[in-house]
Structure formats: structure tokens, C-alpha cells
Amino acid sequence: MTTPVILVSAGRQNNYTPRREVQTITAGCDIDYLAAVQRSGSVPLMLPFLASSEGIAAALSVADGLLLSGGGDILSLTYGEEPHVTSKLQDPTRDAMELEATRLALEMGMPVLGICRGLQLLNVACKGTLIQDIPTQVPGAVKHYADGLDVVLLHTMDIESDSLLAKVMETTTMAVNSWHHQAVKAVGNGLRISARARDGVVEAIEAADGRPLLAVQCHPEECAATYPQFQRVFDWLATEARSYQSRKRR
């Protein structure tokens, strides 16, 4: 068995450049994702924005798992809603790429881990919808967007005892960090809610039928070095990637 390869979706950022200089746009993801994947014993391979279905399929063909990383808001028209006034940082090209990558990964039976935007993307890919702004659309919501300079475990997440997430994290209650203003509204086809915040906001989803799909609204990649229990979701992905790799070879 060779070292599993994890495809990590990457976003785009418009970097600041001085006047009269060529504007620079970069593609990438936070290095914490790559570090967490490497700690799990896997090799991260970044998937930059691609408009080609053939290119996405080619990238998936050499991978053993898919990690949908965090980023800006998914274009609300994708799930049939007009944009809330607070919506921001949309990238329809990235949306299309990740939706196609997710569709193909699900068809292939490839394990998928979604983080923050990645959870929302997985839900939309399965025909679910999103709360577009928690502070204005969820009465009595707790704070879901931290302002701390260091890693802050901001609020509590309660995990369903019979869920995959409870098995992975080995607990049913834990404090998590938080960097989001959107969340799951209608749950996508074939998915189940596996954790909520104390205000009812969905904090994790997974496959209802036991397929290797797991998504969390917190950012475990940011926490894993300081709070090792958050590394467990990446270790889970690595384990499932090895199983997928074995199935591919049969």
C-alpha cells in the first residue's frame, strides 16, 4: 500500500499590489490544511480552480480522498436563493469546480471531508440549502465568528451519540473554534445532521447511509497543533483513503 493522496480544494485571492504594477491573483489554501493532512500520514495535493470537468476527473483519478477547504460564500443562486446583503467573497468558478469534484467523488465512493465552506458545499452539492447570515437569520444565535488573535474554542458543539463524528472524536460534547456566518438550512439528500451548537445551528453533517462522508463547520486544521483531538478528523480521512486505495486495486 502506498501513501494515500488527499486532494485539497484551493481558492483564489486577489493580492494587494502597488499602483502601476501588474495585479496578482493567487490560488491556494491555508497551510494548516496541508500540515494536518501530512500529520495524518497522507500527501496533500492542491486542486486549484479548474473549469474543465475532464481536468477535475483527471485530478481525482490520482487521489484517494477529497478535502473541501474553507473560503468565501457559495453563490446563493446555486441553491435557488437571492443573496443576503451580508453575502461576500463569492467565486462561481470555485463553486463549479468543487461541486463537480464532489459529484465525481461521491460517484466513485471516494472519502470526503468538508471543513466550514466545505460542509456548506457538500450540503449544496446534495441539493441542500443554507442560512445566509446567522446573526440576522437565527434568533438567539451565539457568536459564530471569533475575533481572537490566538486559537479560541468559542462555543460548544453537541454531537449525536450514534454518529460517525462521535466515533471519530470519542465524545458527544466539545468546545470548537468558529469562523462562519452561514450554515446548513435544509439538509441535503442522503445526509444527516450529526452535531449542533447550543443555539441549534448545524455544526456537522455526514452520510445517512454510512458512506465515508464527514463535514464540520469548525476549523480543525487551525486547532490540531494546539488541541490534538482535532487531528482525528484528518486521521479518519487518511484511514478511509487507505481503504479506498485498496478497493481501487481490486
Q: Which triple of cell numbers denotes residue 215?
A: 463535514
Q: Judge contact between 6 and 65, C-beta under 8 A.
A: yes
**Torsion angle, alpha carbons of 18, 74, 86, 217, to 10:** -100
Would you name the residues annotated as active-site residues? 116, 219, 221
